[in-house]
């Protein structure tokens, strides 16, 4: 209902101001005609203007929506942000961040195994031992496949983490 545009436009406008201030600290030799700050300044000024336009449009939409709501009490509805879909996305993002950390410290094999099982559970929770074992087998297959593609074919040095290096040679 325009609220998001207001927030996004306003936030972006503020960010532009901060970055514009940052450009004043850029090195600019007196003889330099088109210095390092010229291009970013042009872009930031344009972005600031368009962000303001977006925020204003959002405000206008929000005001119209509010007026309509006052006229029709029954039509009052709240915008739902936390749908099951957005919750899944939030959990997936958190899992991915955990995966990045685990990848570095636990190694690729353990982290990929855990990530695969975790992500499949977020997408489709299952109960029982058999489906869990099937997914575990798929995850193990993926770990081996990654080793063959990245480790062997592309010669990427995958982090071994807590597992001994000799397992991956």
Partner 1 sequence: MDFLSGLGTVFQLNNLLLLVLGVVLGIIVGAIPGLTATLAISLLLPFTFSLEASTALIMLVGIYCGGVYGGSITAILLRTPGTPGAAATALDGYPLMKKGEGGRALGIATSASFTGGMISCVFMIFLAPVISGFAIRFSSAEFFALALFGLTIIFSISGKSLLRGVISGLIGLLICTVGLDVIVSYPRFTFGIQNLMIGFPLLPSIIGLFAVSELLRLFEEGVKGKEEVQANVGRVIPRWKDLWHLKWTMIKSGIIGTFIGALPGAGANIASFVAYSEAKRASKTPEAFGTGIVDGVAAPEAANNAVTGGALIPMLTLGVPGDAVTAVLLGALTIQGLQPGPLLFRERPDVINSIFASAVVSNCVMLVVGLLLATFIAKIATVKKTTLVPIIAVFSLLGSFAAESSFFHMGITVAFGIGGYLLERNGFPLAPIALAIVLGNLAETHFRAALIRSSGNPLIFFNSIISVAFLLLAVGSVIFAIHSQRKTQRKEARE
Q: Point out which residues bind partner 1 (CB under 8 A).
A: 4-5, 8, 12, 19, 22-23, 26-27, 32-40, 43-44, 46-47, 50-51, 53-54, 57, 84-86, 88-89, 92-93, 96-97, 99-100, 103-104, 108, 112, 115-116, 119-120, 122-124, 138, 142, 146, 149-150, 154-158
- Report the alpha-carbon distance of residue 146 to residue 149 in Å, rounded: 5
> From the CB of 23, what's the least distance to partner 1, in Å?
8
| Cβ proximity to partner 1, 68 vs 70, nearer residue | 68
> From the CB of 44, what's the least distance to partner 1, in Å?
7
Exposure class string for 68-88: b at 16+ Cβ within 10 A, else e: eeeeeeeeeeeeeeeeeeeee
Under 8 Å between Cβ of 112 and 140: no
Q: Which residue do the tokens 């982090």 mark?
A: 159
Under 8 Å between Cβ of 142 and 119: no
Sequence-distant contacts of 136-145: CB under 8 A, at least 24 apart:
139/112, 139/113, 140/113, 142/112, 142/116, 143/108, 143/109, 143/112, 143/113
| Cβ proximity to partner 1, 70 vs 131, nearer residue | 131
> From the CB of 73, what's the least distance to partner 1, in Å?
27
- By CB atoms closer than 10 A (0-12, 13-18, 19+), residue 38 is middle
| Cβ proximity to partner 1, 32 vs 64, nearer residue | 32
> From the CB of 74, what's the least distance to partner 1, in Å?
25
| Cβ proximity to partner 1, 122 vs 163, nearer residue | 122
> From the CB of 100, what's the least distance to partner 1, in Å?
6
| Cβ proximity to partner 1, 19 vs 69, nearer residue | 19
């Amino acid at each position: 209902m325009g609220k998001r545009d207001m927030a996004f436009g306003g936030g972006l406008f503020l960010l532009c101001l901060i970055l514009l201030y940052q450009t004043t600290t850029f090195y600019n030799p007196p003889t330099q005609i088109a210095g390092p700050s010229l291009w970013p300044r042009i872009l930031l000024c344009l972005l600031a203007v368009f962000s303001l336009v977006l925020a204003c449009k959002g405000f206008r939409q929000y005001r119209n929506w509010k007026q309509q709501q006052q006229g029709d009490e029954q039509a009052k509805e709240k915008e739902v942000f936390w749908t099951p879909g957005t919750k899944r996305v939030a959990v997936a993002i958190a899992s991915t961040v955990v995966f990045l950390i685990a990848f570095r410290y636990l190694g690729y094999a353990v982290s990929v195994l855990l990530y695969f099982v975790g992500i499949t559970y977020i997408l489709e929770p299952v109960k029982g031992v058999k489906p869990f074992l099937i997914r575990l087998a798929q995850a193990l297959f993926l770990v081996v496949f990654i080793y063959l593609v990245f480790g062997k074919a592309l010669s990427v040095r995958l982090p071994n983490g807590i597992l001994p290096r000799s397992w991956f040679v």
